[in-house]
Chain A
């Protein structure tokens, strides 16, 4: 169900993604995250094209943390910020974090390779149905993604939507 990957650049770190749909307590979850009761990033999956997009954001977040260049206060907020094509932090949270009415959520955990995070703890907190991370594309809102990342039809001719999204995420601090 969940999807775990080691970061090649930071072999001590692992990233786990968990996807839920039919979520009924997004408001409560968001509250938990704000208070630090959930140590994970809660992402609005309708803005995600592919789990790779999350990995790119997580890798960049760990990198920024290690080099002391984070733009936000925590690793998890940094992941959400990195997903956004702009450098506006509140805008990033609004678009890519979960909002009170959302009915799906992607939970992202980053942890030490020797640790084993309690996934069941997360699953218990979410009042919804866990689905395989590979089903992510069935939840994505392509129209909104294209609009937010400003992907033009001509760009989609030379690559996938994921390519376009990842390129913008990777280059946003110099554009």
Chain B
């Protein structure tokens, strides 16, 4: 029976459009129950022991779904989960149609002559607020980059929605250390993808600090992490 089912899914995948392949998963674009859908398939890693592989993959799939739900409950926009197949480790997610990554948005706003500085500052502030909200829910994203944030144009709204995606490395933690590292990862990614944005990122952090009640400890940790890097020293 299980054989028959995985046949159904793999046949379905073979007709889907492959968007990206990473180390962890393949991402497809498809239609599911009539809706534009993004399918994330965590494929088996042959270099790992099968039992360990199954366990890790399962845990990550579960964690991704949990974090998405947790964020949504807190009012943070993330893709809707339509269906999860825990046997083939596939997550069927809402496709954010007509969206643009924050990465592309900043890049085009940085083009000479686009003079969108005020608008970018506004965006940085909003990112700060949303990340503060997420950390207040004790969700650590684990892979914050400007490519994992989408801007969705809503016809009814003037301002576009900021949607967080890819909770594949996310987990729950209340520790300022983990939140600090989360921000540190973003800082590294942000400053290396977008040159000369130090002051913009500063605005983001300021707005983060102002939006969260528990931000003081996190920012303090961030300063520590900057000095020593992401990994905690194991000496002593």
Partner of B77, one of A55, A68, A159, A168: A159
Given contacts A67-B5, A163-B94, A170-B84, is CB(A59)–CB(B65) below 8 Å? no
Contacts of B32 in A (CB 8 A): 8-9
B214 contacts the other chain (CB 8 A): no
Q: Are A67 and B68 interface neighbours, CB within 8 A?
A: no
Partner of B87, one of A59, A67, A154: A67
Query: Chain A's nearest CB lies how many Å from the CB of B204?
Result: 20
Q: Are A59 and B33 interface neighbours, CB within 8 A?
A: yes
A55 to B34, CA, bound (A): 10
A138 to B84, CA, bound (A): 30
Partner of A9, one of B8, B69, B84: B8
A69 to B8, CA, bound (A): 16
Contacts of A55 in B (CB 8 A): 33-34
Q: Are B87 and A5 interface neighbours, CB within 8 A?
A: no
Q: Are A56 and B73 interface neighbours, CB within 8 A?
A: no
Interfacial residues of chain B within 159-182, with CB under 8 A of chain A in the complex: 161
A59 to B77, CA, bound (A): 25
Chain B interface size band reads 35 or more
Given contacts A66-B4, A158-B77, is CB(A168)–CB(B69) below 8 Å? yes
Query: Chain A's nearest CB lies how many Å from the CB of B59?
Result: 10
Partner of A167, one of B33, B80, B86: B80
Most chain A Cβ neighbours within 10 Å, of B5, B66, B74, B161? B5
Residue interface mask A117-138, B partner, CB < 8 A = 1: 0000000000000000000000
Partner of A63, one of B31, B33, B81, B85: B85
B72 contacts the other chain (CB 8 A): yes
Query: Chain B's nearest CB lies how many Å from the CB of A14?
Result: 12
A90 contacts the other chain (CB 8 A): no
Q: Are A159 and B66 interface neighbours, CB within 8 A?
A: no
Given contacts A68-B2, A154-B75, is CB(A175)–CB(B66) below 8 Å? yes
Contacts of A157 in B (CB 8 A): 75
Query: Chain A's nearest CB lies how many Å from the CB of B3?
Result: 10
A32 to B4, CA, bound (A): 32
A128 to B217, CA, bound (A): 63
Q: Are A56 and B69 interface neighbours, CB within 8 A?
A: no
Q: Are B82 and A158 interface neighbours, CB within 8 A?
A: no
Interfacial residues of chain A within 8-64, with CB under 8 A of chain B in the complex: 8-10, 52, 55-56, 59-60, 63
B9 contacts the other chain (CB 8 A): yes
What are 28 of the A-B contact pairs (CB < 8 Å)? A8-B12, A8-B31, A9-B9, A9-B32, A52-B33, A55-B34, A59-B83, A67-B87, A68-B1, A68-B2, A152-B73, A152-B75, A155-B73, A158-B75, A159-B72, A163-B72, A164-B72, A166-B82, A167-B81, A168-B69, A170-B81, A170-B82, A171-B65, A171-B68, A174-B62, A174-B66, A174-B84, A175-B66
A interface residues with partner B (beta carbon < 8 Å)? 5, 7-10, 52, 55-56, 59-60, 63, 66-68, 152, 154-155, 157-159, 163-164, 166-168, 170-171, 173-175
